[in-house]
Amino acid sequence: MGWWGHDVLGGDEPLDDLYDYEQKLGVDELYSPSRWDDAKRQSVRDAINADQDGYLKLASSENEVMMQVGAVVLMCAGAEMTDAFRKAAIKAGEEDLWAKEDDEERVRKMEEFVDTVKEYDGTPVKYTTEGLMSKFAKAGLI
């Protein structure tokens, strides 16, 4: 399917990456952070904090999207962000290949992402993304 939105979670690739994070963390249904309850947030936070090195290794394993997705999960959970992870996440936002193609909306979303990473203080971040079905509905397709 590709991408339907310009934000970090707005496409198939980040949803595939979320599956890898689910496997690493042992937590299901990470795809909608805005719907996480306190128990889900806590279980994600505990899993990340228990293995910071392993989490960074997974986040760094593929490309900038994998790192961006890992940062969103970490920040939505309110997990600890090490300096190494913060630097890698900022770099992933600044070196986003799609943004480098000068897509203005993607550039704006990556600037927001980088600012959020820089300002992150451990307080869970509220993150919303527009799903594919919502896009279809807005277009009158369903």
Tokens encoding 8: 């970090």
* Long-range Cβ contacts of 103-109 (<8 Å, 24+ apart): 103/6, 105/6, 106/6, 108/6, 109/6, 109/7, 109/8
Tens of pLDDT, residues 71-85? 999 999 999 999 999
95: three-class secondary structure by DSSP: coil
Tens of pLDDT, residues 37-49? 999 999 999 999 9
5 within some domain = no
35 within some domain = yes
Closest listed residue to residue 10, CA positions, set 117, 133, 140: 133
4 within some domain = no
116 within some domain = yes
Structural domain range at position 114:
12-138
- Report H helices in the chain: 12-25, 38-50, 52-59, 64-77, 83-94, 97-100, 104-119, 132-138
pLDDT band for position 1 (cuts 50, 70, 90): low
51 within some domain = yes
137: three-class secondary structure by DSSP: helix
128 within some domain = yes
61 within some domain = yes
